[in-house]
Chain A
Amino acid sequence: QVQLQESGPGLAKPSGTLSLTCAVSGGSISSSNWWSWVRQPPGKGLEWIGEIYHSGSTNYNPSLKSRVTISVDKSKNQFSLMLSSVTAADTAVYYCARIERTANAFDIWGQGTMVTVSS
């Protein structure tokens, strides 16, 4: 059973960079699935950030594209998110999720990690 676990600092400074990692266990990140980041500001809805394939191919939300980098480390079976120039508006719970190939849907989610942007 594939499981995902987010990790990273719970606090980021304004104008700094937010960095998170998602560890994949119980399966290979090199499977035929995409891997994604989704965030949810407090009391608000879900926002897709972007996705990556094990080959390194990426797709990003156009509204965040200039600030987002998603990368994959196959040797560690994990993928990562970097979001630069953060502001208070980037305060959110960040989820990593698997996009199952045939379902084309987010079928497995991490528990989520809260990141607060504050000085």
Chain B
Amino acid sequence: AQTVTQSQPEMSVQEAETVTLSCTYDTSESDYYLFWYKQPPSRQMILVIRQEAYKQQNATENRFSVNFQKAAKSFSLKISDSQLGDAAMYFCAYRSPVTSLFGNEKLTFGTGTRLTIIP
């Protein structure tokens, strides 16, 4: 079974600085999806960034980028120019490839990293 590990329960960063959240996963599959989700105090789960394993290029979304190291099974999230609105719980998640019409598209989540922004 796939597992996702987020080894940093809490992180803090000064406003306008850069922070990196780490995520490692365990799988024997060669094709899969990886995600970072943000959960602010409102509880809403917000997709931050998505990476397909077959794409070698690291995904980026404005101030958010990933460092995807497939061989090392590592998927870290870098937040540049941190803003107060970035304060949230961040979850890393893995999804296996779906091989049939009725296959499960389960997301396997890590335990989360709580990010605090210091003004």
Does chain A bind chain B?
no
